[in-house]
Amino acid sequence: MTKAGLFLTFEGIDGSGKSTQARILADRLRAQGHEVVLTREPGGSPGAEEIRSLVLEGDPERWSAETEILLFTAARRDHLERTIEPALAAGKVVICDRFADSTRMYQGLSRGDLRSLVDQLHSLMIGREPDMTLLIDMDPETGLSRAKGRQGTEERFEDFGPELQTKMRAGFLALADEFSGRFRIVDGNRDMDSVARNVTEVVQAALR
């Protein structure tokens, strides 16, 4: 591997298995001797984790759509400066559970058509894309029932019904088409081990 590091992201609807697959991939790459930073958004640095509580907890109407875009972007900027860029500069593999594609989908599509605002702010303040994005594609109903099985206080987005999950799934597939150079689609409707084998194959090809 070159000293430039490798920036990998997982994307997909809630409950598609991103966190599970990110963890398994990190373990496998570490076992092969790679230095891996496993991180997530919103969050991944102390400041961004504080913003995470602001955006994921409390009243669903707490923020306007525009303020929410600013908060997710502020969290991402901090995460990039403090965690992602230093790790990549040190030649590490960064595996991130969600990144800017999630803002393109959730803030760009779910509360009106704000995609162009999201893109403008991204190019002003973030200005970089992952080397590779693994989209875990998943049946929306199954994803929803898996996500609802979790208990917690991060509930602002948990009321998403099947309709929005379906819209998000289609949106992610369209995004994979738009950024076909870096996206790889993985079928998430299988047992964990089969999905993990597929993810490992795809990433090994990139590492070679």
Residues contributing to the site for ligand TYD (CB under 6 A): 14, 18-19, 41-42, 56, 72, 97-98, 102-103, 106-107, 147, 157
Instruction: Confirm or reject binding of residue 19 to ligand ADP (CB under 6 A).
Output: yes
Q: What does DSSP say about strands 6-11 and 183-187: parallel, antiparallel, or unpaired?
A: unpaired
Nearest in space to 95 (alpha carbons), one of 208, 14, 8: 8
The crossing angle, in degrees rounded to 10, of helices 18-31 and 192-207 is: 50
Residue 75 CB, nearest distance to ligand TYD (Å)?
8
Evaluate whether 37 touches 86 at the Cβ level (below 8 Å): no
In the beta sheet, which residues pair with residue 183?
A: 133
Decide which of ligand ADP, ligand TYD, none touches 98; Cβ closer than 5 to 8 Å per partner kind.
ligand TYD
Length of the chain, in residues = 208
d(CA 200, CA 194): 10
User: Which is closer to ligand TYD, CB of 9 or CB of 198?
Assistant: 9
Instruction: Confirm or reject binding of residue 54 to ligand ADP (CB under 6 A).
Output: no
d(CA 28, CA 64): 41
Residue 98 CB, nearest distance to ligand TYD (Å)?
4
d(CA 13, CA 102): 9
- Binding part of the chain for ligand ADP, among 122-130, 151-159, 169-177, 189-197 by CB under 6 A, reads 189-197
User: Which is closer to ligand ADP, CB of 113 or CB of 191?
Assistant: 191
Please spell the DSSP secondary structure of 131-159, one letter per residue: SEEEEEE--HHHHHHHHHT--SS--TTTT
Instruction: Confirm or reject binding of residue 42 to ligand ADP (CB under 6 A).
Output: no
* CB-closest chain residue to ligand TYD: 106
- Tokens (6 digits) for 120: 């403008």
Residue 6 CB, nearest distance to ligand TYD (Å)?
20
Decide which of ligand ADP, ligand TYD, none touches 142; Cβ closer than 5 to 8 Å per partner kind.
none
- Binding part of the chain for ligand ADP, among 14-22, 26-34, 53-61, 73-81 by CB under 6 A, reads 14-22
- Which residues bind to ligand ADP, rule: CB under 6 A? 12, 14-20, 146-147, 149, 191-192, 195
